[in-house]
Structures are given as C-alpha cells and as structure tokens.
Structure 1
Amino acid sequence: MDIIDKYNQERETTIQYDLFELLHTDFNYSLKHQLKNFGNDTVTNFVALFPIKGKTRISEIKVLLRNLKDILPKDLFEAAKEEVRDICDDYKWINSNEGKNILQIEEWIKAARHSMSVDFPSELIYIGRSFVNPISLIVGGYVKGKGAKDLVKSYFDQMNPPIAIEYKITVYETER
C-alpha cells in the first residue's frame, strides 16, 4: 500500500465532516419561504423566532407551534413540527456541556486545518476527532522526517488546542 492510501485509510478513521453544517438552528429555505408567505401574523411572528439563538426558550416555541395547528394546513403544520423538533434537539445539544466542548474542538480544528494548508502544504496531515470518543482531538498523517514531525507537533501545540492532542504522525522515507 502506498503512502497516500495509508494516509487516506487512517484519515477515514476520524471524524472529518464539519459538524456546524449538520446542526439546524433555522427552517430549511423552502419551508421558511412557505411559512413566511402564508399571510398570517401568528405564523409570521412564529417564523421570526428563527434562527434560534441566545436565550430563546424551547418551551415557548413549542407552545407557539401548537397554536399554529388550527391555522396551517395539516401537511405544512407537520413539516413545521418536524423541523422544530430537529431544531430544538440541535439547540439543546449545542447548549449542553458535551455540545459546547465538541463545538470548541471543531472551531479549533477548522482554524488548524486552514493554517496547516498554508504552512504545511506538502505534508500529509489530517486533523479530526475520534468516532468512539467525540471529545477528542487527533492529528495524524505522514511527514518526511523527524524534524518535520517535531515541527508539526510544536506548531499545533502552540495553537492552544482546547484539549490535549493525540498525535498519530509517522515519519516516512522519500525516494531519492
């Protein structure tokens, strides 16, 4: 197996997707558009609560949603109800201790990936989290020498990671 295949295989054992893209704080565009254009002040005021942020109370949102049951057509109400359930679940998770910790790690990962692509463009380095323990930080890959490995470790340690980094960096020999 060549070095690129090994790198890709190891990289796939960590969480690489951007978690922020998976979290919902607002209705999808189509549903929000339908609700906004429904032409009812109660519906319009309900939609104005989204994207959900700050000190928005989920209990208030659910009460207001129930008020829409007699106003909206059944299919539109059910779609809104499902979206509200997903949004509230994500909002609760975002504000949980685990959510806050993971999102802090994700922010660091985003910044580190950007910096790494600029400062180490020729090294095969990946940054991710463990599927088994999502509150983790893994930096792994392949570098061309011990000096590069030490430099990479020092570089990421100086970026003030929110938790200790688990390094899985291997030195490989290049063909001369």
Structure 2
Amino acid sequence: MTRVATSFALSLWLGFHAVTGLSELAHLAGVTEIAGQPLEPAAGTTVAASIFLAALTLGTAGLIVVALRSLHGATDRLRRQGEHLAFAGIGVSSAMVLAAFLFGPPLAQVFDRVDLAFWSIGLSLVAMAFDHAMFTADDPDDELTFRKTLAAIERSVPDASRRRDPMRAGDEERR
C-alpha cells in the first residue's frame, strides 16, 4: 500500500522550500524576474539573512527528497528511515513557522500567513499519522493465499452442466 497522503503533504512542503530557497538565491544573484514574471521580494533583509534562508530552505527540501525516496523503499528499514526523515522535515518546517510567529522577519516574510502555515503543519502531521497507521507492507504470501482461496471457491461451486434442478428432474425423465 502506498503512502499517498504523506507523499502529497511532503511534496507540497518540498515545492515550497525549493521555490523559497531558489528565489532567495536568485535575489542574491541580482535576478528580480524570470521569463518576464517578477519574483517575490527577498525575505532576507541582508546578504547573510538571504544566505541563511536559502541554505535552510534548500537543506530542508533535500531532507524531504531523501524522506520521500526512503518512504517508498523496498525494505522495512528504509521505510522506517523515511518516516523518521519525514517527521524531521516537518519538524524543521514547524520550527520555521514557530520562529516566524515568535520573532518576525526574516522568516515572517517567508510565511505571509503564519496561521495558514500552522494549519499546513497540522494537516501534514495528520496525513503522516494516518499513513503510518494504515500502511502495511506487501507480503508475497498474501498473493499466494489469495490465489489458493479463489481456486478453492471455484472448486466448491458446482459446474452448471453437472447441476440438476430437483424441480425439473421429473420433466427430464418424462422426455
């Protein structure tokens, strides 16, 4: 069973962090528009703040990429590692939102609406908890058991050509 809700939530956070980090790097390079579309103003008010924000957001995006890759790994160890990394990525995002709420700029400029960011964190945690509770690894024996059960059911159902209707038995004998 795949982890659709977790993958969706992590993908949204991945996109957010990657775009924010690349936007900060673009501002550091003096780029203010891409393909004629203006970029949001830089969140960092100083060069040091912009470098810090770019490193923090791109590092978090990288963490989430590794988490997504591990969550869909082939072994239980990889999947457990992916869950831990996913919670770490959401933890860093939570810390950023909390810092934006408590301390203001430069993180407050990254999150225009801190209240919506808190909702996003909460919903992401709910999605991850739901997937953790619902996830079961695919077991090759399950498929074999399923096939055996279907074969047993097929054998237990009488064949239509051998089946006789007791109400019509007398009709057939009279002919």
Give the number of the structure whose alpha-carbon radius of gyration is greater.
Answer: 2
Same fold, TM exceeding 0.5? no
TM-score, normalising length from structure 2? 0.38
Q: If the length of structure 1 is used for normalisation, what is the TM-score? A: 0.38
Q: Hey, which of these two has a bigger chunk of strand by percent?
A: 1
Is the helix fraction higher in 1 or 2? Answer: 2
